[in-house]
Amino acid sequence: TWPGNVRELKNVMARAALLAGDGPIVPVHLQIDAPAKAAAPIPEPGTAYHEVPNSTVRKTIAKRLAASKREIPHYYLTIHCNIDALMGLRADLNSRAPAEGPGAYKLSVNDFVVRAVALALRRYQDANSSWTDEAIRILDTVDVCVAVEAPGGLITPVIRNADQKGLSTISGEIKALAAKARDGKLKPEDYQGDGFTVSNLGMFVISAFAAIITPPQSCLLSVGAAEKRPVVKDGALAVATMMSCVLSADHRSVDGAKGAQFLAIFKRLIEDPLTMLL
């Protein structure tokens, strides 16, 4: 096939015949190939996706957490708590609860954690604080936020004055706030304010994790699953129900020694749960 057009080909053949002394050129029919069609692009592997638009709540959460991780000097302290006594007390109290009615309740491990955190904050107020450029703000009330999953993303409703409330009251408030969060009915006063946050992923069988601090708070306690683990008791190997907790703290307002002192108080309470009932 000739890459040019037919007229150009005839001209070339005519000039060649004249130079060779031949007779007139007899036109011939030539098949001219049509330009090849461009092949459809082959999609690269792994590029298929679909998008989920970001809600206003999701954008707000993203901005706050990014600012927290960027601006707050996080550090992390880990403790491992033996909660055999807690599990036994929880089972005993739940067995005594009415099946239904105003006094009905069902305590979770997280209810004990929130109660222990509240009492530890009352006893060691330096961990119940927030940072400002002018001063460290020590909070006079003990408000404990509990991270719950909501349609728009993670949100932290507040148990106000948690140190003044018993286990059944804390349990009822957490359940009510979690239901409001799932239904999108939380009001700003339900989740705004300073304080301390508890984030528990134990129900997802997460052994331990370190969460991002919720500003303007100074501390957050990440709680892992209750697991049977080998431990040493009285010099012998045994099995106990253990729970790992990680404190995320703002080093500007709660330095390492303060964080350690808070965790020591929390550990004593959670491992000796009868003291939380006094």
Q: How far apart are CA 52 and CA 40, in angstroms?
A: 28
Report how far apart the first and last C-alpha atoms of the chain are (Å, whole number): 100
Q: With beta carbons less than 8 A apart as the criterion, state whether 186 and 180 touch.
A: yes
Query: 106 and 171 in contact (C-beta within 8 Å)?
Result: yes
Tokens at 78, concatenated: 């880990």
Whether 74 is catalytic is no
User: Two tokens at 114?
Assistant: 């929130």
Q: Prior bond to 216 cis, omega within 30?
A: yes
Residue 28: closest CA among 3, 2, 51, 50:
2
Active-site positions read 251
